[in-house]
Amino acid sequence: MAGIIEGGRPEEWLIITDLDGTIIDSEASNFLILKQLLDEFGLADKSVLILKGLGEGKDFDDIMRTVKLTKETKERMARRMESLLTQAPTPSLPGAIEHLKYLRGLGFLCCLATDNMSRFVAHVVGRLGLGDVFDENNILTCDSFAARKPSPEIIKEFTQRTGRTKALIVGNSPKEVALARGANCPVVIISPEEGGKSGPRKKQTIDYEWSAFGDFTGKDIHLVHDWDGVRDAILSIVSANGEDGGAP
């Protein structure tokens, strides 16, 4: 396992990760759950509008207002979604837990930015034994922070909370790339193939995300295929930056 960082100081860095499709292999089940939810609440005919809005990073409440849902119905949907998500299988991606703990042990501070709800995220973090990796103060969810990816306010919030000056992003979608670009951070993208548009964990909203946020090209965008690649890319980025770069 790679572990030597020449010229870099892990204790200066934040690693800001996504959850779905990055730490847990949940995107296929999430799509099925969303489809079930829309069917249950009579919104199947609005599925394209809702998926497009999610893919473009719009606030879920704003999307629900667009389809004219009442506050009471939105709250019932949120509770039902949380229940279905908690019951669904959410296996971790191979190596994710091991490498996150390894990186934390080197001195990196790990943060989590996800569009999921707080209680579900707490459930996943606890079940996977990641409480020693992600402090609850370093987790931003759709119901705990107003800004949504790709807003650079997410990076700003984490740097203010932690006092760390350098950040890098780990994710699997164009939204994470857009987040990194907006905050001038390097990003590591888990992509099954070089182009990033296909593979067994393809997001159901990916086409909308590509249209909204562009591609995976750029000098600070590091494409990898698995968590071994994530670890190696992070160590390489920190070594290359040394005392410079990486600051949002």
The count of residues in the chain is: 248
Average pLDDT over residues 50-71: 79
* Predicted pLDDT at 206: 66
Looking at the predicted structure, is the pLDDT value of residue 245 above 50? no
Per-residue pLDDT for 141 more than 60? yes
Structure tokens at 192: 């099954």
pLDDT per residue over 164-179, tens digit each?
A: 989 999 999 888 999 9
Domain 10-25+91-241 class in CATH: alpha beta
Lowest mean pLDDT segment, chosen from 38-42, 136-140, 218-222: 218-222
Q: Do the beta carbons of residue 212 and residue 56 sit within 8 Å?
A: yes
Give pLDDT, residue 160.
Answer: 95
Does the reported pTM lie above 0.85? no
Residue 232, pLDDT score: 96
- List the chain domain ranges: 10-25+91-241, 28-87
> pLDDT tens across 9-20, in order?
899 999 999 999
Among 65-69, 102-106, 115-119, 194-198, name the most confident range. Answer: 102-106
- How confident is the model over 221-228, as a mean pLDDT? 94
- Does the structure show a pLDDT above 50 at 198? no
Q: Is the pLDDT of residue 221 over 70?
A: yes
pLDDT reading at 220 higher than 60:
yes
